[in-house]
Amino acid sequence: MGLAKTEMFTDQQNEIATYAKVFGHPARVAILQHLFKINTCVCGDLVNEIGLAQPTISQHLKELKLLGLIKGNVEGTSVCYCIDTEKWSQMKITMFHFLNQDLSKKEDCC
């Protein structure tokens, strides 16, 4: 299997692709939506809310945390997760600039 060759692309292109990958799974979207709705929760709450197994939820949380969109604080034997508002704002700016590109109003090109 070949390498992704991410070094061939700009930092911004790699960043946008990483965001797209994270949003490419509906469970991660559901986790983010739930965190926005209730502000903070533990993995067990997400298991009950979303209906996936705990290890599956944990893996999705790991992906979101690696990207920095969420953060977790240890509370006793549990980790309490919430949206990292600073990283979320940065992501919104990056994605806005990418998604706000428009084709010129010229004739069809194809």
Taken in order of first residue, the domains within the chain and their CATH numbers are 18-96 (1.10.10.10)
pLDDT digit string (tens) for the chain, length 110 residues: 455 688 899 999 999 999 999 999 999 999 999 999 998 888 888 999 999 999 999 999 999 999 999 999 887 888 899 999 999 999 999 999 999 998 666 666 66
CB 61 within 8 A of CB 43: yes
Residue type for position 39: N
pTM listed for this prediction: 0.84
Phi, psi of 53 (to 5 degrees): -65, 155
Question: What angle (nearest 5°) sits at the alpha carbon of residue 84, between those of residues 83 and 89?
Answer: 105
Element (H, E) at 79: strand 78-83
